[in-house]
Structure 1
Amino acid sequence: MLGVMTQMGALIACGVAWGRLRPGGLRADETRRVLTTLVYYLLLPALVLKVLWTAPLGLVSLKIAAVAGLTVIAALALTALACRLCAPGRATLGAMMLAAAWPNAVYLGLPILDRLFGDAGRAVAIQYDLFGALPLLLTVGVLIARHFGTHDEPVTGPLRGLFAVPSIWAAFVAVVFNVGGVPMPGWLDGWLGFLGHAVTPLMLFSLGLALMFDRFRARAGRALAVVAVVQLLAAPLVALGLALALGLQGVPGIGTVLEAAMPAMVLGIVFCDRFGLDTGLYAAAVTLTTALSLVTLPLWYALLQLLPALQ
């Protein structure tokens, strides 16, 4: 795990350095927007289609989705309770809830689980996000952002929001073909795999481009501490309890807990900008939790290896 995190951290650091040096005169946000658009609309849907078409789907998939959804809800509740200690403003509270509840399940979780467990790990990461965390983000997350935000943005229906995500369509097609027993043509398997191999390095590089080290404020210390504790410690602890209660073992069990232990998702910055939440605090939370996760994730992995019930 330490070797994997070292490799991941090195590629994230390349993204950070690229954003500071600006080769070719491109700003970090411009470069990141191009890369993430490519991943979002082409590469990630290709990977989702390949993985879910051939992955074993069944009761385990429902358990992974249940752990993901319940962990998000628990993290929201814990953050709301903890915020009584730091008494933030509405815009800050909304940003804190988004940062603490939704992990970076795809942009960091998928590459890590892929390196640790291969195809089985990728299947867990994709199911955790698409079947559990993402639907809640586009429904509950949007409602939270609108409630606490300062911008009066119209909210589309939850189904419309879900159907606008290319990976959701790829997952739907993959599940239909998987359940229907449709074999994947060899040429398509190779082509999708070729596209999917680009996802991990581009995601990690884009994550480095998104980190903002100039957004830290002294008065935000308590708020950032709450986010870090909930996201990196409390959420995976909740997920561990749920995984044990539901009987998840092996890669699904360990992978699900590791997904819950990921740092704050980068996508939340978009929600903060759109709805008028505290974007600076959210960006600082992403940077802080990502840096801390380079230490906490190996510790969680080592702990999970010691639990016979998960093996």
Structure 2
Amino acid sequence: MNNFILIFFFLFLGLLLQRVKGFPSNAYKFLNKIVIYLCLPAITLYHIPKIKWSNELLFPIGAGWITFILAFLFFHFLGKKLGWSNKLIGCLILTAGLSNSSFLGYPIIEALFGKKGLETAVLVDQPGTFVVVSTLGVFVAAFYSQGSPNTFSIIKKIIVFPPFIMFVIACLLNVYNYELDLEIQSVLLKIGSFVTPLALFSVGLQLKFDKKSQHWKFLRLGLFFKLILVPFVILVLYVFIFKQHSEPIKITIMETAMAPMITGAILASTYGLKPKLSSMMIGFGIPISFITLSFWYLILNFI
């Protein structure tokens, strides 16, 4: 419950400060840099070394990758056919292709499936969604933010992306089974805990309720894809094609049905990919997802 209160508190705080005269209108850019260059690397270095790998983990881990690839194929080809700008396509891929599988996902999964369910939730989030945003996410952001994409430039941006650097280091620690000092882990956990409040505050500072905005139709399409189409495809793929009926599979499907990932929206905003639309995907996606998640939970109970 505390997590849900924090979600709306920081969103509304950002909205409120938009109206305060003298408050820097570009403050969200500074917050975005703190999230991307400090908080996210800390989360990566804390969680990845703790993961124990096995073949059974492929389903929950693969969900985040499948979701992002589906978003890329759907919005890239649809956007090119309809003549959308690269920035619009990139924004929709980053926001509709990544799930809020941690801050929003963890408390919801724990409430519905108990603490045991968190084991699966972490697998969907850390080696799945979080690694996707640190690799493919950066590639998409760099690719669609440039008028004439340069392969070397894009690769360079991925390599020097702090969360990606920490991901490589964390994977090496995992491979060599090396545990960081407990005090260092404690510091990393504290730094990482600032991701959600800062990111939500940033989203609130950018969120606009303009009835005449041209983004509404893209918002509806993006949320339909993220909250309805993606979990439907994962449900059909995992349950009816691969014949998987375990509780971890149900948890995985619920995770893919979460609202758009805040980090994806921050990444889109940082690279200039329709910041207003990316904020709308978060600002409207979170409350709407509570309704659609109830729908998916009922369906999964009948399977």
TM-score, normalised to structure 2, is 0.76
Structure 1 residues 40 and 144: CA distance shift in structure 2, 3 A = closer
Report the counterpart of residue 26 of structure 2 in structure 1.
29
Instruction: Name the CA distance, whole Å, in 1 between partners of 2:287 and 2:161.
Output: 29
SS of the equivalent of 2:135 reads helix
Q: Is the 8 A contact 2:207 2:279 kept in 1?
A: yes
Q: CA RMSD in A?
A: 3.6
Deviation (angstroms), 1:104: 7.2
Q: 2:36 aligns with which of 33, 36, 40?
A: 40
1:90 counterpart = 2:90: no
Deviation (angstroms), 1:164: 1.7
Instruction: Name the CA distance, whole Å, in 1 between partners of 2:6 and 2:134.
Output: 27
Q: Is the 8 A contact 1:105 1:129 kept in 2?
A: no
SS of the equivalent of 1:111 reads coil
In structure 2, give the amino acid aligned to 1:137. Answer: G
Structure 1 residues 203 and 4: CA distance shift in structure 2, 3 A = same
Instruction: Name the CA distance, whole Å, in 2 between partners of 1:34 and 1:144.
Output: 22
Report the counterpart of residue 237 of structure 1 in structure 2.
232
Instruction: Name the CA distance, whole Å, in 2 between partners of 1:253 and 1:132.
Output: 21
SS of the equivalent of 2:102 reads helix
Choose 184-193 or 95-104, whichever is displaced more.
95-104
Choose 190-199 or 298-307, whichever is displaced more.
298-307
Deviation (angstroms), 1:90: 3.2
Report the counterpart of residue 181 of structure 2 in structure 1.
185
SS of the equivalent of 2:180 reads coil
1:102 counterpart = 2:97: no
Instruction: Name the CA distance, whole Å, in 2 between partners of 1:134 and 1:60.
Output: 23
For structure 1, which runs of at least 5 residues remain unmatched after alignment? 274-278
Structure 1 residues 63 and 309: CA distance shift in structure 2, 3 A = farther
SS of the equivalent of 1:110 reads coil
Deviation (angstroms), 1:142: 4.2
Q: 2:52 aligns with which of 50, 56, 64?
A: 56
Deviation (angstroms), 1:113: 2.6
TM-score, normalised to structure 1, is 0.74
SS of the equivalent of 1:90 reads coil
For structure 2, which runs of at least 5 residues remain unmatched after alignment? none
Write the mapping of 1:1-311 to structure 2, written as runs, cut at 5 A. Answer: 4-21=3-20, 25-30=22-27, 32-59=28-55, 62-79=58-75, 88-91=82-85, 94-103=86-95, 108-116=100-108, 117=110, 120=119, 121-122=121-122, 124-140=124-140, 142-144=142-144, 146=146, 151-152=147-148, 154-214=150-210, 217=212, 221-244=216-239, 247=244, 250=247, 254-255=251-252, 257-259=254-256, 261-263=258-260, 265-266=264-265, 267-272=267-272, 279=274, 283-284=276-277, 286-288=279-281, 290-300=283-293, 303-304=296-297, 307=300
Identity of aligned residues (%): 17
Q: Is the 8 A contact 1:43 1:195 kept in 2?
A: yes
In structure 2, give the amino acid aligned to 1:203. Answer: A
